[in-house]
Amino acid sequence: MGFYLEDFVVGRVDISPGRTVTETDVVQYSWVSGDTNPMHTDAEYANASPIGERIAHGTLGMSIATGLSARLGYMDGTAIAAIGVYDWEFKAPIRINDTVRLRATILEARATSKPDRGVVSRRMELLNQRDEVVQVGVMKTMVRTRAFFERG
């Protein structure tokens, strides 16, 4: 079971395991999302671009960040819903075969007007294998409180 609202400590930092972004990831995401921009799908086009090679979609990086967050385990069975993503920035490209990991920092854990739930805000930094921040932003998630568990 994951953490309840009361278990989150502001300032806590967690680092996820790594995940290598493959060509298969990029191709499948192109078709699932409908984003077939040649920077993702055409090697010749991308090789002639300022980046010089195909890259992963920015929103694929965001999706991977949420998956890596799930691997941290602290919201397993206690998350109710994602509330929003704020100030998300794409700082650098994610290249095919980059290995990324997530650094998640708890910014806020606050109660809501309903006693069985609260909101956790986290700064999410997606890092590549060189420890460069490739994406960063804030994600807010509604989570259960201990009152929900005790009521159960």
| SS3 (DSSP) at 102 | strand
- Token duo for residue 43: 């090697």
User: Any idea what the CATH number is for the domain that residue 9 is in?
Assistant: 3.10.129.10
Q: Give the pLDDT of residue 121.
A: 98
Q: How far apart are CA 66 and CA 144, in angstroms?
A: 18
| SS3 (DSSP) at 137 | strand
φ, ψ at 135 (rounded to 5°): -145, 150
Residues spanned by the domain of 89: 5-151
Are the CB atoms for 21 and 97 separated by under 8 Å?
A: yes
N- to C-terminal Cα distance for the chain?
14
Mean pLDDT per 10-residue interval, the chain, length 152 residues = 94 98 97 95 96 97 97 95 97 98 98 95 98 98 84 58
Report how many domains make up the chain. Answer: 1
Q: Give the pLDDT of residue 98.
A: 98
| SS3 (DSSP) at 82 | strand
Q: Give the pLDDT of residue 150.
A: 64
